[in-house]
């Protein structure tokens, strides 16, 4: 057994419970109850205590806190912006993309909005999915499909799908903003009720 494992066992619940029961065995020895078999009694009580002790609970993973997640998401949003500036989009799709990125930028802007967002893991996941997957996938798929469309004219214009995708993503971000706004409204109402109840 390595030294670290030995030290770990000394600090374990099993050793602590076993030692406590072993002390009971020593007390029985000093009062004369254990008699000449006191080593067996002490060892037996130690073993019983170690067996009934609750198992060790592994430490929780050290995940980044929500503010750190948002900071990483801001970095990725900046990378996404650099990618999007290099893509040539039709005017209608470009306008919808601008509206979407402006809304996402407002949600990620450091301040009280992002503080509220940090308390909503599902909201952070929604933004992460949009920034890291949905928007790049929508734009990249458009670029690749547009190339094939030029080879086979007469097919459905790929910008229609891109515009629809960006509209759906904007609606999703709008719902997130509305949910955050509702959270703040409920907080305000709760504080009003608290003050009213306190005033009698």
pLDDT tens column, 46-73: 777 777 666 666 777 777 676 778 889 9
Q: Residues 107-119: pLDDT tens digits?
A: 998 888 888 888 8
What is the CB neighbour count within 10 angstroms for residue 91? Answer: 8
Q: Is residue 104 part of a domain?
A: yes
Q: Residue 191 falls within a domain, yes or no?
A: yes
Task: Residue 158: give the domain boundaries.
Answer: 66-199
Q: pTM of this prediction?
A: 0.66
Mean pLDDT of the chain: 83
Q: How far apart are CA 162 and CA 88, in angstroms?
A: 13
Do 87 and 45 have their domain in common? no
Burial zone of 187 (CB within 10 Å; 0-12 exposed, 13-18 middle, 19+ buried): exposed
Q: Do both 89 and 172 map to the same domain?
A: yes
Give the Cα-Cα-Cα angle 64, 68, 71 (nearest 5 degrees). Answer: 145
The tokens describing 35, both together, are: 């008699």
Comparing 131 with 28, the larger pLDDT belongs to 131
Answer whether residue 61 is part of any domain.
no
> Are residues 136 and 40 part of one domain?
no
**Tokens at residue 149, please?**
């469309």
Q: Looking up tokens 């004369």, which residue turns up?
A: 32
Q: Are residues 152 and 107 in the same domain?
A: yes
Q: What backbone phi and psi angles, to 5 degrees, belong to 61? A: -60, 145
Instruction: Compute CA distances 14 → 25, 26, 38, 49, 150, whole Å.
Output: 16, 18, 21, 7, 72
Measured from the Cβ of residue 40, the count of other Cβ atoms closer than 10 Å reads: 11
* Two structure tokens written together for 182: 């509702």
CA angle in degrees (0–180, nearest 5) for 125-129-130:
120
When divided into structural domains, the chain yields a total of 2
Do 33 and 101 sit in the same domain of this protein?
Answer: no
């Amino acid at each position: 057994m390595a030294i670290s494992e030995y030290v770990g066992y000394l600090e374990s619940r099993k050793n602590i419970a076993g030692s406590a029961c072993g002390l009971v065995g020593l007390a029985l020895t000093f009062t004369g109850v254990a008699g000449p078999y006191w080593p067996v009694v002490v060892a037996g009580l130690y073993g019983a205590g170690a067996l009934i002790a609750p198992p060790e609970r592994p430490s929780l993973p050290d995940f980044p806190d929500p503010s750190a997640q948002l900071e990483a998401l801001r970095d990725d949003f900046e990378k996404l912006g650099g990618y999007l500036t290099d893509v040539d989009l039709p005017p209608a799709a470009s306008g919808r993309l601008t509206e979407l990125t402006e809304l996402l930028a407002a949600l990620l802007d450091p301040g009280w909005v992002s503080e509220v967002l940090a308390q909503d893991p599902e909201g952070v996941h929604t933004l992460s999915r949009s920034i890291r997957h949905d928007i790049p996938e929508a734009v990249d798929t458009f670029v690749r499909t547009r190339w094939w469309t030029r080879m086979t004219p007469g097919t459905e214009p790929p910008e229609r799908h891109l515009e629809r995708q960006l509209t759906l993503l904007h609606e999703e971000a709008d719902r997130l903003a509305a949910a955050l706004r509702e959270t703040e409204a409920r907080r305000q109402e709760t504080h009003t009720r608290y003050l009213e109840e306190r005033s009698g």
